[in-house]
Every structure is written in structure tokens, then in C-alpha cells.
Structure 1
Amino acid sequence: MLRVVNLIVDGYLDLRRELARQLDHWQTELLKPRARYVNWSSLLDARLSLHQLDEICEDQRTAVQDWIDALETWAMPESSAGQRDLDLLKVRSRDVREHIERVVHHVRRLEQSTETAVQMHFSVQSNRTNDIMRTLTALTAVFLPLNLIAGIFGMNFEYIPLLHKQDGFWWAMGSMTAIAAGLVALFWRKRYLARTGGGH
């Protein structure tokens, strides 16, 4: 019986390796800087398989632990051969339990690494969105005073300074260019228009 359980757990180890290979692939896809499409259904199927494997191993570990507890209640054999056989049975039972616990440990480590990869994926997406919004806000701030100047000179007043002067247009364009260049330089210096070094 212990050999059969041990063979079953060996099969779980092979399944764990396959799931680990799949999850490594998904982690690589999730952490790509330009990743836009992720096959979430396949990732969720892999996580569901991990949960099922965890539950099965927990049930088997409980059953083997109950078996080990039952062995402790057996009467001590009178012969030395019987005593040796009972001790060997206890040792093999503990080996099977440790084998199952090793599979459970690996499965839970894979689950944690997958959760970490998903959280890092959304963190990267959030940082990218923040960069875009910051850039758009800085550009809006650059064009806001230009719109103000254009709106002032577009008013229907007969007397506006520089409006009827020959070089008024060039003064307005020069001031708008200077303001825009100054704001761009300021925002670039404060890294509002610079990309962060997060692999973007």
C-alpha cells in the first residue's frame, strides 16, 4: 500500500514539473514590459490544477498520518523480526508522508510565485498608466497658457495692446514659444515628461 501511494505521489511530482513549466511561461509573459494580452483562462486553469493537487495531497497526507497514528497503537511484536518489520513499516510510512509534504510545499511555492507575478504585472501596468497620465498632464499644462494668450488676443475689443502693431504677431508668437519652451524644460527637469527606468 505504501509503495502504491509512493508511486502516486511520484506522479504528482511529474505533474508539478509540468505545471511549473507552464507557470514559468506565464510569469515570463506577465512580466514583459510591453505585454498587453495575457491568456488569463489558461493561467486560471493552471492555478485551478494547483489547487486541486494541493487538496488531494492534503487528503493523502491526512490519511497517511492517520495510518502512522494507528501504527503507534499496535501491540509490540514479541519476536525481534516482527519488531524490525514494524519499525521498518513506520519508517516507510514517515517517508511517504514526507514525500507528500514535499509535493505540498512545492505546490504552495508555485502558487505564491504565481500570485507575485500577477501582482507585479498589475503594478507594471499601473506604473505605465501613471507615466502616461503624468505626461498628458504636463502637456496640458504647457498648452494652457498658450490657449490663454490666444484667447486674450481673440477677444472682440477694439483696443488691445500689440493688436494693431506691425510686430504684434511676432511678439505674441515669441512669448508663446518662450513660455512653452520654459515649461517643457521645467517639466523635463522635474522628470514629468521623462520616462521612468522601469523597462518601458
Structure 2
Amino acid sequence: MQLYYFYRHNRENTIFISAEEQPDHPLEFLWVDSLRQDLVNHAESWQNNIYEHTGLVLNEFHMQDLLNIEHPCAFDTVEEYDLLIFRKLISPDDQIYESGNVSDSHENIFGLTTTPMSFILTPNILVSVREQGNMTVESYIQRIQLIMERTITEQNKPRKLPTTPADLSLRLLNSMIDGYLNLRTPLTRRVEHWQQQLLQGNRRFKQWHQLFHEDMAFQQIENLCEEQIETLQEFRDELVDNYHHVVTKQKHKTQDILLVRLNDLMSHIERVQKHTLRLRNAIQSAIDLHFSAIANQTNENMRILAIITAIFAPLTLLTGVYGMNFEFIPGLKSPIGFWIMLGVMLMSTILLLYYFYQQHLVGRGERSVIDLLAQQHKQRNVNILWFLDYEPIKQTLKEVEKMTKLK
């Protein structure tokens, strides 16, 4: 457990940090940073320490929430304090301790592991409960310790320090949400991998079970983002509704800044959620293209088989006719009858191939479908009296019309 006192300088009107109490300066708020390991098996002593430094008495149900490593994102408020639980993505830089107990393992989403971080907020106190090795918080603590090494008058010069517990908690949340923004690149690469696997044509795709788990992982990320947005929205409503008792100008200004930061955090999470939704749609589009390609290949195979069947149908008819057991068949005794029949069969095959080529059924190019549609459009209205367009018949009809007029 570490204590950090945020004071306001009585002459410079700036914020500075101290690890010890400074009775000569007004206290803005106190930050108590605790590890979750301090609560496990030592919950009563930890509560006594919190009460000794802050005067807070925690609800027993909230103590259970702090100990629950699988607790979802949530926000709850009581008369004495507000409780905010937010799940942080465990990055490769983190060195979070993993216990051997199965019931005490972090939530794993297809290789993405998250851990809860809890904030207990009052207007003057912030109590954080985190895992040991949480580099987001430890990096912020290292920056605070570097600032504490400076003099009191120079601490607030390089960067504005937080003035309220809510401000500090939002800064820590901003660092944790940046880890979710960094998910966009690896998730996009995973989708590109599945697109290549689905659309490759040299072998059959069989990894449907793994692809199903991948899609479930994207869905769980969307649900996690939705929980985070709802939690931050409840936190925002609490800031708007229950901070009206702060009447000083500086506090009102700070409240406006907090609302802006909360809106910015929610917009970042919404970007991750929308990006994940786009990636799920991309996977679904790849699956649709995969089945469309299979259906197209099946139709192509059926088309080829139909053409082969149509070519061999007249040949089968000729061989069937000349294979009948009649005593007299024309050309049966002829010495060249066999060759004549082969020539007729070859000519039938060539004529059928030429007809199929003219109908764009064989050797179709890139614009064959367009040409086929154009040809169908031209032949949409079938001329039943097509024989009247024959030239001799036209001349005869004209002569009959002239004779009718003379009469």
C-alpha cells in the first residue's frame, strides 16, 4: 500500500505531490494505491488500514467485488463513496502474477487476457486496487516519483497534475484504454490471415472450428467494449448529477474537463468496438465469397459436364441406330460405310461445338456474360412468323397485295 498526498501550494496556487503529510498546505486529495495481493487472505487488516488513513468503511459486497478477479466492468455508488471496476488488457509488458488456483485465473479471450482494476472514489480520496505488475499504473507511479524529486514550486510546471480523484482515475483509465486501441493492428492481421485461408484455391479449407472460435473472440471483445461504455456512461451520469454541491469556480471548471475526458474515453472505446464489428463483417464477407467461389466452381463443372453430354448425345443416337439387329440397314454392306459414319459423327461434333461457341457456352471470355445478356435481350421477343421474312415469300406477298388493290 502506497500513499500519495496531492496538496495545493498556499502561495503559488499550484499542485504538488508528497509521500508524507504537509500540514502547512491544504490537501486536495489522497491517493491510496493497493495491490490485490494485499486483500487476499488479509481483507480485515487491509480494511483497518484503509479506515486508519481515509476513514472509509467499505461495504462487504464491494469487498467481494474487489476480490473477484473475473468481475465485469461495473459502476456502483453508495452514500460514502463510488466504486468503479474496469477491466484492463494484459499486455506483453505487464508482469502480472498468476496464481495456481483455477478459480483465480484471469479472463482469457482467445489469447487476450484481461484483469480488473478497481477505483473507490470520494471527493477527497481515491483508493485503487490493482494487480502487481500492472505496468500502466506502475509507469504512472514512476512519473509521479520523478516529479516528487523536484522542488514543490517546480512540480506542476512540466505537466498539469490532477486536482481531483476523478481526474486521476480518468488519466489511469486513458492509459488502459490505449491498450485496446493497440489491438486494431493485430486483429486486422488476423482477419487478413483468415481471408487468405478462405480465398485460397489450392486446397480445401478445413479450419472451421478455429474460425468459429475466432469469431466468438471478436464478439466477446465487442461485449467487453459495450460493458466499458455503459460503465463510463454511469460514471458520467454520477459526475453530472451528484457533483452540484461543488460551488467554487475552479471545481466547476474541473468538472467540465472531466466530462470532456469521459466523452473522449467513450469515443475511443467506440472506435475499438466499431473496428471489431468491421473485422467481423470482413470475415463474414470472406466466408460468403468462399461459398460463392465453391458454388461457381460447381456450376462450371456442371456446365462442362452438360456440354460433354450434349456432344455425345447425337453420337450415342447414331451408334444406337446402327447397332440395331435388323437384316437390312442402309450402308451396312458398303465398304466405306464405317468411314462415312465416322465422318458424320465428326461433323456433328464440330457443328455442336460451333453452336456452343456462338452461344458463348464454350471459351467464354471476360465479357461473355454481358454478351450473353445482350443476346438474350435481343431475342426476348420471339418472332412466331419468322418464315415470312424469307425473301421469296416477301415477293409473293407483295404481288398478292398489288393484285388485291387492282381489283
The TM-score, its normalising length taken from structure 1, stands at: 0.90
Maintained 8 Å contact 1:29/1:35: no
The TM-score, its normalising length taken from structure 2, stands at: 0.46
Structure 1 residue 35: Cα displacement: 4.9
Distance in 1, Cα, partners of 2:208 & 2:171 = 38
Distance in 1, Cα, partners of 2:342 & 2:308 = 18
Structure 1 residue 182: Cα displacement: 1.0
Distance in 2, Cα, partners of 1:130 & 1:82 = 71
Partner of 2:186: 18
Partner of 2:64: none
Number of equivalent positions: 198
Distance in 1, Cα, partners of 2:262 & 2:297 = 53
Find out whether 1:139 has 2:346 as its counterpart: no
Distance in 2, Cα, partners of 1:118 & 1:196 = 27
Shift in CA distance, 34/182, structure 1 to aligned 2, threshold 3 Å: farther
Find out whether 1:105 has 2:282 as its counterpart: no
Work out which structure has the larger RCO, using CA pairs closer than 8 Å and 6 or more positions apart in sequence: 1
Find out whether 1:81 has 2:250 as its counterpart: yes
Of residues 157, 171, 191, the one that matches 2:360 is 191
* Aligned counterparts, 1:159-170, within 5 A: 159-170=328-339
Find out whether 1:127 has 2:293 as its counterpart: no
Distance in 1, Cα, partners of 2:172 & 2:193 = 32
Find out whether 1:150 has 2:316 as its counterpart: no
Distance in 2, Cα, partners of 1:147 & 1:124 = 34
AA of the residue aligned to 2:208: W
Find out whether 1:7 has 2:175 as its counterpart: yes
Distance in 1, Cα, partners of 2:174 & 2:206 = 37
Structure 1 residue 197: Cα displacement: 4.5
Shift in CA distance, 186/168, structure 1 to aligned 2, threshold 3 Å: same
Partner of 1:117: 286
Structure 1 residue 42: Cα displacement: 2.9
Between the aligned residues of both structures, percent identity stands at: 36
Distance in 1, Cα, partners of 2:262 & 2:295 = 50
Which shifted more, 124-133 or 5-14? 5-14
Shift in CA distance, 9/38, structure 1 to aligned 2, threshold 3 Å: farther
Higher CA-based Rg:
2
Structure 1 residue 32: Cα displacement: 3.1
Structure 1 residue 40: Cα displacement: 2.3
Structure 1 residue 33: Cα displacement: 4.5
* Aligned counterparts, 1:28-43, within 5 A: 28-43=196-211
Find out whether 1:66 has 2:234 as its counterpart: yes
Partner of 2:265: 96
Structure 1 residue 137: Cα displacement: 0.3
Unaligned runs of 5+ in 1: none
Find out whether 1:54 has 2:222 as its counterpart: yes
Shift in CA distance, 144/171, structure 1 to aligned 2, threshold 3 Å: same
Maintained 8 Å contact 1:23/1:46: no
Of Structure 1 and Structure 2, which has the larger fraction of its residues in strand? 2
AA of the residue aligned to 1:49: A
Unaligned runs of 5+ in 2: 1-168, 368-407
Report the aligned-residue RMSD. Answer: 1.9
Instruction: List per-residue Cα deviations over 1:156-189 (Å, max 9, x = no partner).
Output: 1111111111111111111000001111122233
Which shifted more, 69-78 or 47-56? 69-78
AA of the residue aligned to 2:227: D
AA of the residue aligned to 2:277: R
Distance in 2, Cα, partners of 1:168 & 1:67 = 97
